Structure 1
């Protein structure tokens, strides 16, 4: 058995002690939060377009970190999670598309193995798809009956039809049981046409990450058009900062990767920390305004909304 444990860049540690976890839980019990805001569901879902599209690049937000990405006639899903609950907590808003509304899925891209990014019940709906996963995760999935699994390390890439799928660094950690902490890696994905022209056509799916120098390195290597950036699960910041960016840090990360369009994610579906979806969005838009960034470059999607 491979006993390798994966690490972050520069040896940054993200794991917290039991004492720190207890302190967070104590703080949470003292907070009063308004959870009335729900991410809206798109009323004009483009189901027929998504099923017939073979030419246009499109990005549809399912919820949390789950996206349907269409490029060069290939249908991709990122971190597909259709679960109704995460632990004991009920989902805050329904997925933007039902499973039966999806077009045929060619491949699934996983950023890491945490339950809010890798839901085994959902994955079983895509047994026929090719899975692209971080290093250390393929054995677990093959043991679960998934035959088509490609495992990549940071900066490696695979080709799928006319696409290149690049696995890029993030600052995070993994665990699904008490015994497998950091036994598989974590990261993001850059999706781009295999033959790059002058157009900035890459989609960057950041996965789950704290703020780190890797964002700038990603921006130096790729011409990113759309940056799908996490903005939630950051509070309390003393506990979460190494593993989850704040909305303000997400804006800086977007600038670091030199993206053209910012699409926020990782909020609104599950309550993983103490921040609320409304707080995350308010801080994001306030930072966007403070930095005087283009209004057209920030695309806040509804659940089920498609950007082309």
Structure 2
């Protein structure tokens, strides 16, 4: 039976030709980046504090797109990846929190099936017996590994878990885990809502009108926004945000707090973590935005909301 292939809003095509791939690799070989300067680890990690927290809202950046979100008494992990390598590239920084230091996890939310966002080697070591909220098309990959508590979602599907509302929202991206499964599962972000807070985990995306559509349906307090893997821009623009486009998307959403993620952990494209932060800072200053709304976490740092 022919498998369904998912698409972006406005059917934006993210496919690249072999010629474009060769051009990118040639450019990469011609401009080597210094990867020795990395995003710092937080000097004072609050592991003991969040290990027992079941009342306050907090966000801990573990690295890349992996965050521990504590809201409404739940422990939630986004796109759990503790892998030491991604393809041929070594991880640039160790995770901000070791797997053994995590509390028991109630919910795992997955944005899409790329290996830097979904690592089953990590998942099998998570504490607890979590429920998995995944894009449509991914459930079978969990079930074949023995995971039963798996809920699939289409764009704008919502459901309530322990008095907390989860909604799967669009992103502009693509996915692939094998030679034959390109776009056979979907991709997107998750909005998590309690009575007091709303947190939008954007996942992985290029800039798109979806931010404006989401703003029409939701009030967003805190945005976990990707800012890395954008260079070369002619190759990446449909699938990844530049720091400038990340700010534009945040303003579309009318968010209150911007937390950058998806940078400085793996060398997936030709930009570096410090470059992404420098461009983000420059855009924030250029637009004269309130500095208190930008929360750049160190790896392993916790923000209490």
What TM-score comes out, normalization by structure 1 length? 0.97
RMSD: 1.0
1:116 to partner: Cα distance? 0.2
CA distance in 2, matches of 1:131, 1:147: 9
How far apart, CA to CA, are the structure 1 residues paired with 2:59 and 2:158? Answer: 21
Structure 1 segment 31-110 matched on structure 2, within 5 A: 31-110=31-110
Distance in structure 2 (CA, Å) of the matches to 1:19 and 1:123: 36
Q: Is 1:250 equivalent to 2:253 in the alignment?
A: no
Post-superposition, which runs of at least 4 consecutive aligned residues in structure 1 deviate over 2 A?
A: none
Deviation digits for residues 17-42 of structure 1 (CA, Å, limit 9, x no counterpart): 11110110011000032222111111
**C-alpha distance in 2, partners of 1:288/1:294?**
8
* Unaligned ranges ≥5, structure 1: none
Inter-partner Cα distance in structure 2 for 1:17 and 1:145: 37
Q: Counterpart of 1:253 in 2: which secondary structure?
A: helix
Of residues 286, 293, 296 in structure 2, which corresponds to 1:297?
293
Distance 2:111 2:273 in 1: 22
Displacement, 1:305? 0.4
Q: Of 222, 232, 256, which aligns to 1:226?
A: 222
Q: Hey, what does 1:11 align to over in structure 2?
A: 11
Distance 1:24 1:298 in 2: 32
Deviations 1:63-85 (A, max 9, x none): 00000000010000000000000
SS at match of 1:29: helix
Give CA-to-partner distance per residue, 1:170-205, whole Å, 9 cap, x none. Answer: 000000111000000000000001xx4xx5x20000
**CA deviation map 1:80-105 (0-9, x unaligned):** 00000001111000000001111110
Q: Distance in 2 between matches of 1:44 and 1:35?
A: 24
1:258 shift after superposition: 1.1
Q: 1:62 to 1:20 in 2, by over 3 A?
A: same
- Offset of residue 307 of structure 1: 0.3
1:61 aligns to what SS in structure 2?
strand
Equivalent in the alignment of 1:132: 133
2:186 is aligned to 185
TM-score, normalisation: structure 2: 0.98
Range moving further from structure 2, 273-282 or 215-224: 215-224
Report the Cα distance in structure 2 between the residues aligned to 1:246 and 1:13, rounded to whole angstroms.
Answer: 18
Distance in 1, Cα, partners of 2:118 & 2:158: 20
1-structure distance, mates of 2:259, 2:141: 31
Show the counterpart of 1:169. 170
Partner residue of 2:268 out of 266, 272, 276 = 272
Unaligned runs of 5+ in 2: none
The 3-state SS of whatever aligns with 1:125 is coil
1:118-171 deviations in Å (ceiling 9; x for gaps): 011001123721100000100121012111100000000121101001100000
1:230 and 1:37 mapped to 2: Cα distance?
20
